Structure 1
Amino acid sequence: MFDPTVFDNLKVVIEGDLYDLDLDGVVKIVERKDMVDLAAMSRTFSMKIAVNNAEIMGEIILSSDAENLSGEILKHIEAPGCTVKLVFIKNASEVSNLHQEVKNWKNSLSEIWTERNITIFSTKKHAEEEKENVELKAEVIFDRLILEENIDDLRDMLSFMVETII
């Protein structure tokens, strides 16, 4: 039998903590994905959460590439890890003043996610029968690998994620 990888251990922590929050009624899990990319030999795990009556949905994405997975299994890497990305999604409320809304949301996110790179994307839905709709997606990138020693940091990250969507 082999030891679980760092990816597996971090995934179990994220999954367990988010399901606990769901059971406690703090958040609602709306999507869960656990994927293996056979072409790139990588793994990705994600969970999307929402809060009743909240306008923002959050997603945490944990990934491990072939270098970290194989390096850990073959014991070629001393400190294997995973990458983490957070995504927050909401509909723009003021399509006519989109630039200002994006700026305001980025400022609001920067108060919670200090010293993090935040990128916001907008997607406009074109449908004749519906009113104009623009979806905003903010990505919070962590420019370092998350190691098993960072499990407590990962748990704190989930708390900030919940704070962001409330």
Structure 2
Amino acid sequence: MFDPTAFENMKVVLEGHLYDYDLIGEISIIDRNDIVNTSKLSRQYELTFIESDERLYCQIVLKADLKQLAAELLPVHSNENEAGCKLFLRFVLKHKDDMKLMESTKAVVSNIWGVSRTVNQIIKYNTKDKHEVENEMTVSFNRLIYEDQMDDLLVMVEHMRETLKQLSKVIE
């Protein structure tokens, strides 16, 4: 029997919490990826969900590379402060091509997630439908998330859902 890594434990808790919401019909999980990269010896978990507005979705991304996994599995040879995961939140929405909407949506995400987080915004244009854009905003926490912060991950799900609700109001 093996002892699960912090990555594995956080993945299971997040997945269970989000699937509970899916089971009671408050969200719909639309995609899930559990990736093991054998070339780089890294793990990545992605879970994507929507609320009621199908024009926007949220994706939570949990990553652990060799440095994080080794810090936990080989603590004698590594720094224990590296035994965690990187966490990213991605909010993707489609709306009309309007610069004010782009600025407003980024402001919503920045206000909810705070100034200590980095929000990167990518706007994608479809050459066939020049009136609509895909607006992707990624929230980076700029630090590792540790297993003892598991309860914070559950609270974070509420903020993710609130972000989707606020973004839906902006693009109405």
Map 1:45-124 onto structure 2 (within 5 A). 45-75=45-75, 76-79=78-81, 80-93=83-96, 95=97, 97=98, 99-115=99-115, 116-124=117-125
How many pairs are equivalent? 161
Contact conserved, 1:126 with 1:133, CA < 8 A, in 2? no
CA distance in 2 between partners of 1:56 and 1:164 (Å): 10
Q: Which runs of 4+ in 1 moved over 6 A?
A: none
Tell me which residue corresponds to 2:14: 14
CA distance in 2 between partners of 1:141 and 1:71 (Å): 22
Counterpart amino acid of 2:164? I
SS of the counterpart of 2:102? helix
Task: Give the gaps of 5 or more residues in structure 2.
Answer: 166-172
CA distance in 2 between partners of 1:55 and 1:159 (Å): 19
Tell me which residue corresponds to 2:142: 143
Tell me which residue corresponds to 2:160: 161
Judge which range, 57-66 or 74-83, deviates more: 74-83
Contact conserved, 1:126 with 1:132, CA < 8 A, in 2? no
Judge which range, 141-150 or 110-119, deviates more: 110-119
For each residue in 1:101-154, what CA deviation from the matched residue of structure 2 results, as whole angstroms up to 9, or x when unmatched? 211111111221112211110111122xx5643100000000110001110111
Task: Give the gaps of 5 or more residues in structure 1.
Answer: none
TM-score (norm 2): 0.88
TM-score (norm 1): 0.91
SS of the counterpart of 2:26? coil
Counterpart amino acid of 1:121? I
Contact conserved, 1:123 with 1:134, CA < 8 A, in 2? yes
The root-mean-square deviation of aligned C-alpha atoms, in Å, is 1.4
CA distance in 1 between partners of 2:39 and 2:28 (Å): 32
CA distance in 1 between partners of 2:54 and 2:127 (Å): 24
The alpha carbon displacement at 1:53 in A equals 2.9
Using the aligned pairs only, state the percent identity: 35
CA distance in 2 between partners of 1:59 and 1:125 (Å): 21
The alpha carbon displacement at 1:17 in A equals 0.3
SS of the counterpart of 1:92? strand
Judge which range, 15-24 or 76-85, deviates more: 76-85
CA distance in 1 between partners of 2:63 and 2:133 (Å): 28
